[in-house]
Chain A
Amino acid sequence: MTVLEQPGAYRPTPPPGWQPRVDAAPLLPDAEPYRLLGTAAAADISPDLLIRLHRELVRGRRYNTQATALTRQGRLAVYPSSTGQEACQVAAGLVLEDRDWLFPSYRDTLAAVVRGLDPVDALTLLRGDWHSGYDPHTHRVAPLCTPLATQLPHAVGLAHAARLKGDDVVALALVGDGGTSEGDFHEALNFAAVWHAPVVFLVQNNGFAISVPLAKQTAAPSLAHKAVGYGMPGRLVDGNDAAAVHEVLAEAVRRARAGGGPTLVEAVTYRIEAHTNADDATRYRPDSEVEAWRAHDPIALLEEAMRDRHLLDDEGDRAARESAERLAADLRTRMHQDPVLDPMALFEHVYADRTSQLREQAAQLRAELDAEAADAGKGE
C-alpha cells in the first residue's frame, strides 16, 4: 500500500480555513429549466407584468426585424439579431431599478432599448458612426461590449465599488454560451463570489457560438452548474418564457441587493437568425431544428398564457403591434438619415488633454479637410 492509498495518510486534516464554506447542494440548478407560462403558477403572475412583457416582446421582435432589414439596406454595418431571445432581453431590460447597471454584449441592444435607451443611439456601434452612441450614466447601461465576457469583470467591479460607497446598486451582466468559455467569465465569477458582490450574471444560452454548438463548447451538465464551483447559486430557466426569466432574475436581483451575493442564471433559448447578417447558419444547423424552436416562440408562449387569463384580446394585441410599428417606422426614418460626423472628433477623447503628437496630427487632418473643402468649392 502506497502512502497515497492509505486513507487519510496523504493529506493532513485540513485546518478550518480549508473546509468547504458552503453546502453545495442549494447552489445546484434544477435538472430542468424553470417554467412559469403554461403551469398552474402562471395564474399568480401580475397582469400588469404580463401586459408589459407582452408589449415589449412584440416591440422587441419588430425592432429585431427592422434592424435586420436595415443591414440589407446598408444602413447598419452589422446586426447580431436577438430574434427568438427577446424574452431574455426584455426581462433583463425590465428587471432592474433605475440606479442599477446593465452590462450588455453586442447582441443585447434590445435589452438596452427596453431599459430606456434611444433605439438609434443603441445602434451607433453597429451602424459604425461611433463606438458607442450614448452616455452610459444616463440609463446606467455600459457600452455594448464586443470582446466576449470582458464586460463581466466590469460589472463585478462596479457593483463592488457601489457596495463600498454604501449604495444598494445591483449590476446585471449579460453573456452568451460561447462567452462562458472565456477566462474573463471565470475570473469575474470568482471575484464576484469572493467579494460577495451584488451582481447577477445572465447567460443566454442560444445554442451556438457563431457555428459551434454547446456540446463542443462545454462538457458541464449545464452552464448554470458552473456557479457551484465559485460558491454561488446557479439557476436554470426557460429562456423563451419571459415571465420565468423575469421572476428568476428578479429573485437574483433582490438577493444581491439584500447582501446575498451573486447569482448565475442560465436561460436556455435559441438564436433563430444567423449569428449576424454576415453568417450562413444553414452550414451548421438544419432548418428542422430552427422550426422546432419557432414552435416554442417566446411571444406565442406569452400570448397563449395571457389569452387563457383573458389578459389579451384582439384589441390589446393590435395596440401592442401598432406600438411596434411606430417604433419600426421611427427607426427607419431616423436611420435613413445620414449621420453627421466631424472627423476632428477623432482626436477629441483619446486623452483628457491632447498630447503634442495628437495636436500635430489634428492640425494635419484639419489642413487636409480645409484643402478638400477648398477643392469642392472650386468645383461648384
Chain B
Amino acid sequence: MTTAVGTDTARKPATMAQALGRALRDAMAADPSVHVLGEDVGTLGGVFRITDGLAEEFGEDRCTDTPLAEAGILGTAVGMAMYGLRPVVEMQFDAFAYPSFEQLISHVSRMRNRTRGAMPMPITVRVPYGGGIGGVEHHSDSSEIYYMATPGLQVVAPATVADAYGLLRAAIASDDPVIFLEPKRLYWSKADWSADAPEQVPPIGRAVVRGPGSGGGRSATLISYGPSVPVCLEAAEAARAEGWDLEVVDLRSLVPFDDETVCASVRRTGRAVVVHESTGFGGPGGEIAARVTERCFHHLEAPVLRVAGFDIPYPPPMLERHHLPGVDRVLDAVARLQWESEWTEGSAV
C-alpha cells in the first residue's frame, strides 16, 4: 500500500483505463453524493474494468449494477440528480447509448433550462467510444455529433492519461451534464503519471496545443480530439522529415468549443486540417471548419480540410483500418494544403 512517507507521488507508467478508474474512486471518496450506475459496473467492474473495485470499496448503493436498459439507467439518473445526487452513468459501448437518447435529449440536456436554473442535472455519462479495437457492429461508433447538436450538454473527449483523470474529475464536479467520451483504443495507452499526485489539467472547454512543435508550428494546424490526437502527433512527427512544422491542437472539449486556442493556432499557421473518426458529412469537422473559416478567413492560405471516417455505417472489424483516418491520410491532406493553387473541385479527402 502506501509507503511510510504517506503517499507515493512518483510518476510511473499508468494506462488511461487506470486513470479513469482512479478518477471515479477519488470523486466518490471526495463526495458522498457521487453514485456510479450502469450495466456490469458492480461485481464485474465494467467490461473494460474502469469501475473495478468501486462496489467493493463504496458498496452496491454507490456503485450499482442496474437492469439492462439504457433509457432506464439514464432516466433514473435524472431522478437521482433531482434529489441532489451526482450520478455517473456508464453506457457499455457507444452504440448501446442510443436507447437512452430520448432521456438525454428530452430531459438531461434541458432540465436546467426548463426550470430556469432550479433543477440542474449534474450527470456524467461515460461512453466508451470509437473504433480500432476490432469490435463487431455497434461497438465502435463515433457518436459525438449527436451529442454536440444538443444544447445543454457538454461533450468531452480526453486523449492523454492526465486528461482522462483531470477531465473526468471535472465532469463529475460539473453542475451540468457531461458526455464523457472515452476513446476505447486509448484505454491501454500509457504515460508516466502519479495516481497520488495527478497533475492539474486545463478545465473543460479549453483546448491545448501539443507537440512536437508545441506552439512553434508554422506549416499547418492539425485540429483533433480523442483517439485521433495520437494519430495527429505521429503525423506531425513524420511530417518533420518533409520539412513541415505542424501544430496539433487537442480540443479536449467539443462543447464548449475553444475558438480562441484553435483560431490563434490557425492564424499562426494559415492552414488547418480537422481530423476525426466520425463521418465527414454532417460531422464535427464541418462545424469546426466553418468556425475556423468565419474567424480566420483572411489568415488562411488554403481551404480548411477534413480527414474523417467515410460516410458509411461503421465497418466490420476486418475492414476498419481502411475507414479510420491514419497517419498517411493526414499527411496526404497536409500535402494538399501546401499547393493550394492546384486545388480543384473533387479533390477533397
A: residues with CB less than 8 A from B are 130-132, 135-137, 142-143, 146-147, 150, 152-162, 164-165, 171, 183-184, 187-188, 190-191, 194, 345, 348-352, 355-357
- B-chain residues with CB within 8 Å of residue A142 when the two chains form the complex: 82
A144 to chain B, nearest CB (A): 10
Pick from B69, B82, B114, B259 the residue with the most CB of A within 10 Å: B82
Q: List 13 additional A-B contacts (Cβ < 8 Å) besides A154-B107, A161-B85, A351-B256.
A: A150-B106, A153-B103, A154-B75, A156-B72, A157-B80, A161-B80, A183-B71, A184-B72, A190-B72, A348-B117, A352-B112, A355-B205, A356-B259
Which of A136, A152, A156 sits near B119, CB closer than 8 Å?
Answer: A136
B247 contacts A by Cβ under 8 Å? no
Pick from A157, A158, A355 the residue with the most CB of B within 10 Å: A157
A247 to chain B, nearest CB (A): 27
For the complex, give the distance between the alpha carbons of A187 and B77 in Å: 13
B1 contacts A by Cβ under 8 Å? no
- A-chain residues with CB within 8 Å of residue B174 when the two chains form the complex: 352
B152 contacts A by Cβ under 8 Å? yes
Complex contact A132–B79 (CB within 8 A): no
Complex contact B114–A132 (CB within 8 A): yes
- B-chain residues with CB within 8 Å of residue A160 when the two chains form the complex: 76, 79-80
- A156 to chain B: closest residue by CB: B76
- B106 to chain A: closest residue by CB: A147
B144 contacts A by Cβ under 8 Å? no
Q: When each residue 115-142 of chain B gets 1 if its CB lies under 8 Å from chain A and 0 otherwise, what string results?
A: 1111110000000000000000000000
List 24 A–B pairs whose Cβ atoms lie within 8 Å, in order of A's numbering: A136-B82, A143-B115, A143-B119, A150-B75, A153-B71, A153-B76, A153-B78, A157-B77, A157-B79, A157-B81, A157-B83, A158-B82, A161-B79, A161-B82, A164-B35, A184-B71, A184-B72, A184-B102, A187-B75, A188-B75, A191-B72, A349-B112, A350-B151, A355-B255
For the complex, give the distance between the alpha carbons of A164 and B152 in Å: 28
For the complex, give the distance between the alpha carbons of A352 and B174 in Å: 9
- A-chain residues with CB within 8 Å of residue B82 when the two chains form the complex: 136, 142, 154, 157-158, 161
B: residues with CB less than 8 A from A are 35, 61, 66-67, 69, 71-72, 74-85, 87, 99, 102-103, 106-107, 110-120, 151-152, 154, 174-176, 205, 255-257, 259-260
A128 to chain B, nearest CB (A): 13
Complex contact B120–A131 (CB within 8 A): no
Which of B74, B83, B115, B255 sits near A162, CB closer than 8 Å?
Answer: B83
A220 to chain B, nearest CB (A): 20
For the complex, give the distance between the alpha carbons of A55 and B84 in Å: 36
Complex contact B113–A349 (CB within 8 A): yes
For the complex, give the distance between the alpha carbons of A190 and B174 in Å: 30
For the complex, give the distance between the alpha carbons of A146 and B120 in Å: 19
Given A159-B79, A184-B75, residue A349 in contact with residue B116 (CB < 8 A): yes
Number of A-B contacts (CB under 8 A): 138
Which of B69, B87, B175 sits near A191, CB closer than 8 Å?
Answer: B69
A345 to chain B, nearest CB (A): 7
Given A187-B67, A351-B152, A355-B255, residue A153 in contact with residue B115 (CB < 8 A): no
For the complex, give the distance between the alpha carbons of A184 and B35 in Å: 22
For the complex, give the distance between the alpha carbons of A357 and B76 in Å: 31
A327 to chain B, nearest CB (A): 25
- B-chain residues with CB within 8 Å of residue A130 when the two chains form the complex: 116
Pick from B74, B75, B99, B151 the residue with the most CB of A within 10 Å: B75
Which of B74, B77, B112, B256 sits near A355, CB closer than 8 Å?
Answer: B256
- A-chain residues with CB within 8 Å of residue B79 when the two chains form the complex: 153-161, 171
A184 to chain B, nearest CB (A): 6
For the complex, give the distance between the alpha carbons of A164 and B256 in Å: 33
Pick from B99, B111, B205 the residue with the most CB of A within 10 Å: B111
- A-chain residues with CB within 8 Å of residue B176 when the two chains form the complex: 351-352
For the complex, give the distance between the alpha carbons of A190 and B69 in Å: 9
B93 to chain A, nearest CB (A): 19
For the complex, give the distance between the alpha carbons of A162 and B80 in Å: 8
Complex contact B115–A132 (CB within 8 A): yes
- A194 to chain B: closest residue by CB: B67
A47 to chain B, nearest CB (A): 36
Complex contact A350–B115 (CB within 8 A): no
- B-chain residues with CB within 8 Å of residue A161 when the two chains form the complex: 79-80, 82-85
- B-chain residues with CB within 8 Å of residue A155 when the two chains form the complex: 79
